[in-house]
A and B are shown apart, each in its own frame.
Chain A
Amino acid sequence: MKKKDFPIFQNNKDLVYLDSAATSQKPQVVLDAMMDYYKNYNANVRRGLYPIAEKATAKVEEARDKVSEFINAEDPSEIIFVRNATEAINIVVESYTYPSIKEGEEIATTIMEHHSNFVPWQQLAIKKFLKFGYLDFDHNGNLFFVDELIKKAKSLAITHVSNVLGTINPIKEIIRNARKINKDIVILVDGAQSVPHMKVDVQDLDCDFFVFSGHKMMASTGIGVLYGKKKLLSRMEPFLYGGQMIQEVAIDRSTFADIPYRFEAGTLDIAGIISLGVAVDYLEKLGMEAIRNHEKKLTRYCLDQMEKIEGITLYGPKNAEEKGGIIAFNIERIHPHDIAQVLGDRNICIRAGHHCAMPLHTRLGVSATCRVSFGIYNETEDVDILVKGIQKVKKIFKA
C-alpha cells in the first residue's frame, strides 16, 4: 500500500518483512520528525523558559492531544506517556489494583494473553493471595465468556487482538456483558495489536484502562501509552517518584502533580513522543479503515494460499473478518525455528517461538509456532514469496 514511504525497503531490496506484530517499520516522516527535534529544538520539556524548550513542550502536548483524539479519549489528561504497553500494565497493577484489592478476592484474565498482560496479574495474585481466573478459548480461537468468573472478579485484563491467534475479541460486547453482571469490575484492554491496525474508540468500548506501544504503530521504540478513565487515574498513587511528577516537596513530605504528569517522572522519551504524534498523523492520513481493509485482504489471501500447503496446521480463526493480520501455523515434522531460520536466510522475516504467550501455547498443546503478521507496507507478492519459501523448507527437511 505504501512501501515507498518506508526507507528500510529501499535499503534492503529483497526484504520480505512479515513480523509487524513484533514491531512495525518506520515511515520517513516519523524518522524526519525525530531528527528535526534533535537537530533543531532539542531541549527538555516543561522546564526551560526559552524558545526551543517552549517548542519541545508544545510538541509533546500536541502529541498528547493527537493520541487522545486518535483513540477518542474524553480528555488529553487521560493519556499518559510510558515506555510501552508492558509498563502501562504494570502501572495499573501496582498503582491501582495492588492498593485496592484484598486477600482472597479474585482477578481475571484470559489464556490468550501476551505475557505482559498475564505475568503482572499472576504475580499480584501470588503476592496478595488472590484467586486468579482466566477465560479459555474454543478450537477457533474465540473466547468463552464465563459469568461466574466475571461476576466475582475485581478486574479483568483482556487483549483486544491476540498476538498469536489473531483473534479480534468482541471487546465492546464483552465489556457490556461484564458490566451488566458486575458493575464494579475494572477492565484493562491490551491494545498493542489493535491500535495500529483498526479504529479504536475507548469511550465506545467503555474500558477503564487501555494500553499500547508506539513501536508497533510506526513510532520509535521506547514510547507507549496508558489511557485511563480520569476518575480512576486521579485516584491512583504514583508509580515512579522523582522529577517533574511533584507539586511541592518539603523535607518530610511531598505532594504530587495532577494527571497525567503524576505518572511521568523523570525526563520523558521526548523524541519518541514526537514520533508517536507524527505516526498518528500518518495512520490517520491513510485512514484506519483503509488500513484494516488492506490487511484483511492480505490475511484472506495468505490463509487461502497456506491452506493448500500439505501438512500445515493453522491456529486461530480461519476467517479474515474475525482476525487481525496475524497468522500462526506449524508444519508437520519441522520445528518452527528451523522453518523461520531457513526463511530468514532468504530474507523472509517471520517469527517462531512462543511469542511471549506460553500459557496460550500450552493450551494449544505445542511448544512453539511460526507467525506471520502484516503491516500496511505488505503486498500479496510477499505472501507468494513466503509460500514459495515454505515449499523450499519442506524440500530441505523432506517433510
Chain B
Amino acid sequence: MKRTMNSAYRDEILEHYREPLNYGKLLSCTVSSKQTNPFCGDEIEIYVKFDKNFLGVLANPPPRWTWAIQEIAFTGKGCAISIAGASMLTEYAKGKTKKELTKFSQEDMLRLLGIEVSETRKKCALLGWSILQDCLSNN
C-alpha cells in the first residue's frame, strides 16, 4: 500500500506541484482553453501560441511547413496531480508540432506522469491533456 502512495506522490510530482513550470498567462496567444474538473474543483486554463515550423531548409519545391507550439503556459488551481500534470505536459509540448501532439494519447499522458492513478483520479491526471487537445482542435 505504501508503494502506491510513494508512486502517486513521488518527488517529481511534488516538485512540479510546488513550483510548476510554465505557470502564467501568455499575453499574445493563438488559442486558449479552460476546463474544470467538478470532482476536485480543479480549474486550469492553457494558453498556446502556434507558429510555422519549417521542415527542411532551402527546399525545392517550396518549403513545407507545419504548425508547432512556440510558447505555452497555464494558470489555475488544483490538486497535486492536476497541477503537476499541466506543468509536465506544457514542458513536453514546447516546440512539438500540432500533428505530434494530436497523436499524444491519454495513455501517453499517464506515462508522462509516470504514476499509477486510480479510476477516480484519472480526471485530475488528464485535465491538462484534455485542455491541450481542445486547444489543438480549436486552432
Residues of A within 8 A of B (CB): 335-338, 341-342, 345-347, 353-354, 361, 366-368, 396-398
Interface size on B, residues (CB 8 A): 21
User: Are A367 and B41 within 8 A (Cβ)?
Assistant: yes
Q: Which of chain A's residues have a CB closer than 8 A to the CB of B14?
A: 396-397
Measured between C-beta atoms, what is the minimum distance from A200 to chain B in Å?
Answer: 32
- Interface code B1-36, partner A: CB below 8 Å = 1, 0 otherwise? 110110011000010001000000000000000000
Cα A153 to Cα B34 in complex, Å, equals 39
Q: Is the interface of A mostly helix, strand, loop or mixed?
A: loop
Q: Which of chain B's residues have a CB closer than 8 A to the CB of A342?
A: 5, 9
Q: B8 — nearest CB in chain A belongs to which residue?
A: A341
Having A335-B78, A337-B79, A347-B1, one finds 11 other A-B pairs with CB under 8 Å, namely: A335-B79, A336-B40, A336-B79, A341-B8, A341-B9, A342-B9, A345-B8, A346-B1, A346-B5, A354-B38, A396-B9
The 22 listed contacts between A and B (C-beta, < 8 Å) are A335-B80, A336-B40, A337-B121, A337-B124, A338-B79, A338-B81, A341-B8, A342-B9, A345-B2, A345-B4, A346-B2, A353-B39, A353-B40, A353-B41, A354-B41, A367-B41, A367-B42, A367-B77, A368-B40, A368-B41, A396-B9, A396-B14
Residues of B within 8 A of A (CB): 1-2, 4-5, 8-9, 14, 18, 38-43, 77-81, 121, 124
Cα A366 to Cα B78 in complex, Å, equals 12
Q: B79 — nearest CB in chain A belongs to which residue?
A: A335
Q: B7 — nearest CB in chain A belongs to which residue?
A: A345
User: Are A338 and B1 within 8 A (Cβ)?
Assistant: no
Cα A353 to Cα B121 in complex, Å, equals 12
Q: Which of chain B's residues have a CB closer than 8 A to the CB of A346?
A: 1-2, 5
Cα A345 to Cα B124 in complex, Å, equals 17
Q: Which of chain A's residues have a CB closer than 8 A to the CB of B41?
A: 353-354, 361, 366-368
Cα A341 to Cα B125 in complex, Å, equals 13
Cα A396 to Cα B15 in complex, Å, equals 11
Q: A335 — nearest CB in chain B belongs to which residue?
A: B79
Q: Which of chain A's residues have a CB closer than 8 A to the CB of B18?
A: 398
Q: Which of chain B's residues have a CB closer than 8 A to the CB of A353?
A: 39-41
**Of B8, B80, B121, which is in contact with the most chain A CB atoms at under 10 Å from its CB?**
B80
**Of B5, B39, B41, B81, which is in contact with the most chain A CB atoms at under 10 Å from its CB?**
B41
By Cβ-Cβ distance, the 5 closest A-B pairs, closest first, are A367-B41, A345-B5, A335-B79, A337-B79, A368-B41
Measured between C-beta atoms, what is the minimum distance from B126 to chain A in Å?
Answer: 14
Cα A396 to Cα B2 in complex, Å, equals 13
Cα A397 to Cα B18 in complex, Å, equals 9
Cα A3 to Cα B18 in complex, Å, equals 41
User: Are B121 and A341 within 8 A (Cβ)?
Assistant: yes
Cα A5 to Cα B8 in complex, Å, equals 35
User: Are B9 and A335 within 8 A (Cβ)?
Assistant: no
Q: Which of chain A's residues have a CB closer than 8 A to the CB of B121?
A: 337, 341
Cα A367 to Cα B9 in complex, Å, equals 22
Measured between C-beta atoms, what is the minimum distance from A139 to chain B in Å?
Answer: 21
Q: Which of chain A's residues have a CB closer than 8 A to the CB of B4?
A: 345
Cα A7 to Cα B40 in complex, Å, equals 32
Q: Which of chain B's residues have a CB closer than 8 A to the CB of A347?
A: 1
Q: A399 — nearest CB in chain B belongs to which residue?
A: B18
Cα A354 to Cα B8 in complex, Å, equals 22
User: Are A335 and B8 within 8 A (Cβ)?
Assistant: no
User: Are B40 and A335 within 8 A (Cβ)?
Assistant: yes
